[in-house]
Amino acid sequence: MKQYVWTILTLGAMFVAAAAWWLAPVGAIFKQPATWQGMAEPGALSISHAHLKNNCAACHTSVTGIETTKCIVCHANNESLLQRQPTAFHSSISSCTECHLEHQGIEHRPTNMSHEALARIGLQQLNEDATDTENRALATHLATWAGGSAPPHPHISIVESTLNCVTCHGNDDHHFKLFGQDCAQCHATEFWTIPEFRHPSATSMDCAQCHQAPPSHYMMHFKMISARVAGKPHARVDQCFQCHQTTSWNDILGAGWYKHH
């Protein structure tokens, strides 16, 4: 009987020792947060956040996920972002993850701008402003209006139409305010170019209303070369129609496609 008990105890001790030896590396792993966190990483961080590779807690909170307050800790003093007119709206945004995606790889910027997400965040903020009945009323009005059956413009969604383009893009107005502030009449949110744009009549003579001549046209270069190539030595700088066609700036009347430089 004693021999049997001794054998059981010996085998038990050997099992415990073997288990401790086998589990030791696992214990070492979980004693090093940088190692076990890396095991759950969904992808490489962008170059801007690469220094946080071993510090998941800088952005993530257990159970909760990513918290905006943690983004603000690092970016609240970014003057170049918050003081420039196109990006100043970030000072009042309460959510970041809709437009800023991480773990896409070091070659990708963590930015995927979504005008619709921005509009929804704005509507939610207005609606949650319990101290301002005006804002709540505005949110209700916009939400009701955005729930219509047809978008007010064919280039943007109904929700996007609640945004005021000029708030962010006022400094980018190449039309010198001649076309007003309703950018969505022509532009979409995905791109600025307008494939279906058509110039006014080819016989129009008021090009300078929208197009300013390049600096070279205000130098001797214009009279000595540009006007001569077009065969219009007496043309004025503001008479674009004398030399140019609406197909392209380099499509010169009487000369065809002309490479200036």
Distance CA 188, CA 194 (A): 8
Parallel, antiparallel or unpaired: strands 65-66 and 244-245: unpaired
Distance CA 23, CA 20 (A): 5
pLDDT of 30: 46
pLDDT of 149: 55
Residues 6+ apart with CB under 8 A from 45: 52, 53, 102, 103, 106
Distance CA 241, CA 255 (A): 14
pLDDT of 26: 47
Selection from 217, 227, 234, 236 nearest residue 254 by Cα: 227
134, 74 in Cβ contact below 8 A? no
| Stretches in the chain below the pLDDT threshold 50 | 5, 24, 26-31
Distance CA 155, CA 162 (A): 13
Q: What is the pTM assigned to this prediction?
A: 0.59
Distance CA 94, CA 88 (A): 13
Distance CA 44, CA 54 (A): 11
